[in-house]
Structure 1
């Protein structure tokens, strides 16, 4: 074969070899570029979850603190309500209504022909024979007919002295179940209601006094409410 022909034959081989080298180089570049891109992407992906996790943790801590604060506020409110209920219950236990299942009739301070002066107590309309209870613990200082010394208008009456300096009076009774000097407890039955004395119908006349005697009465309804009794 001539030298010229050999030269022709070798050119395509050289071109193919050169093309192969270029292709190989391009492939390496592409692979390297892809690797770099992958690495960068992988780095971003790895960094992103870490940041999200930190943010989520911070949010969780904030939420937990808010929940705890709310729980503390609610607990304090519950404690305050419980303390108030206990105080109200204590007051209610210390004082009680003188009769049960009544209707409030003539009020304190009411005027009219029924009284020589204004009405000195609160009337509780109840049937004759209704149990009358001591509104608060104390000692009986008056008991008997003729208003226990306060006048015939009261009929049969009782006066109880209490440690806080007040006195409770119960009048128009049909029966007296205690005696002078006797200690009584809150809610103890001390008499039966009636219609004795100057009375327009069966009821209990109830007073709160600052002394054991007539003329020192105060409005008993606000007083009872102030010590936790609902009337």
Structure 2
């Protein structure tokens, strides 16, 4: 036997169904809006982050390119106008550093530049004259008339030596500039012919010479 529903009960049930349906739609719509908001937020954040990364990378690359350009410019400037120079302008390289033979007590301590007597000899770098005169300026008669110039200060200081000179034009304590005339080449001392004997040293004294050609080339001087 079925239960009879009164008109009032039917109306109440209808209202409840409509209300429930409305709440369901609202809930669904709310979830959809929230999902859209989250989706928009999640999608937007990576785009902003990617843009920042690209901008930062572009700035880094630009800074690196500018630094490389400045370095290349400095290198080119050094090659055009190096801080060191050749001690003579016109010459022929003769006896080289480390060469053995009866001409030297052990091995050749410098580089010889074959030039005529009276050729202008120039300071290879700015510095102060620490030795000048006969008897190798204190390093022995084999050098003849000689000059030693100090370049720089402290442990990294270097010394250039010029020997077999016919004339010394500077004195101890004198400041000289790169390219300044300091002597005239000759054939004094233990010499088999007119030339300039040139050394680069780590101290002012004999026995501390290094390869002068390698040194000058490392300073962008073409020989």
Partners of 1:229 and 1:98 in 2: how far apart?
Answer: 11
Assess, with a 3 A threshold, how the Cα gap between structure 1 residues 148 and 80 changes in structure 2: closer, same or farther: closer
Report which of the two structures shows the higher radius of gyration computed on alpha carbons: 1
Please, what TM-score do these two structures have when normalized by structure 2?
Answer: 0.66
Residue in 1 aligned with 2:77? Answer: 86
Once the two structures are TM-superposed, the CA of residue 89 in structure 1 deviates from its matched residue by 2.8
In structure 1, distance between residues paired with 2:71 and 2:208:
38
Gaps of 5+ in 1: 1-71
Query: Would the aligned equivalents of 2:133 and 2:146 in 1 still touch at CA under 8 Å?
Result: yes
Match of 2:195 among 188, 203, 207: 203
Query: What residue in structure 2 maps to residue 217 of structure 1?
Result: 209
Q: Cα deviation per residue 1:154-196 (whole Å; 9 max; x = unaligned)?
A: 0000000000500000000000000000000000000000000
Q: Work out the CA distance in 2 between the residues paired with 1:150 and 1:114.
A: 16
The Cα RMSD (Å) is 1.7
1:119 alignment counterpart? 108
Provide the residue aligned with 2:176 in structure 1.
184
Q: Which has the higher helix share?
A: 1
Deviation of 1:142 (Å)? 0.2
Q: What is the TM-score when the length of structure 1 is the normalising length?
A: 0.64
Superimposed CA distance per residue, residues 185-225 of structure 1 (whole angstroms, 9 cap, x where no aligned partner): 00000000000000000000000000000000000000000
2:79/2:221 contact within 8 Å kept:
no
State the 4+ residue runs in structure 1 displaced beyond 2 angstroms: 75-84, 87-90
User: In structure 2, what is the Cα distance between the partners aligned to 1:106 and 1:122?
Assistant: 6
1:87 is paired with a residue whose SS is helix
2:97 match? 108
**Deviation readout 1:59-79 (Å, 9 max, x if unpaired):** xxxxxxxxxxxxx9xx97876
Distance 1:84 1:120 in 2: 30
2:149 is the counterpart of 1:157: no
Which runs of structure 2 are paired with 1:1-231 in the superposition (5 Å)?
81-90=72-81, 92=82, 94-163=83-152, 164-231=156-223
Match of 2:149, SS? strand
The change in CA–CA distance for 1:89 and 1:155 in structure 2 (over 3 A counts) is same
Whole-Å Cα distance in 2 between the matches of residues 131 and 205 of structure 1? 13
Q: Taking structure 1 as reference, are residues 80 and 210 closer, same or farther at Cα in structure 2, changes over 3 Å only?
A: closer
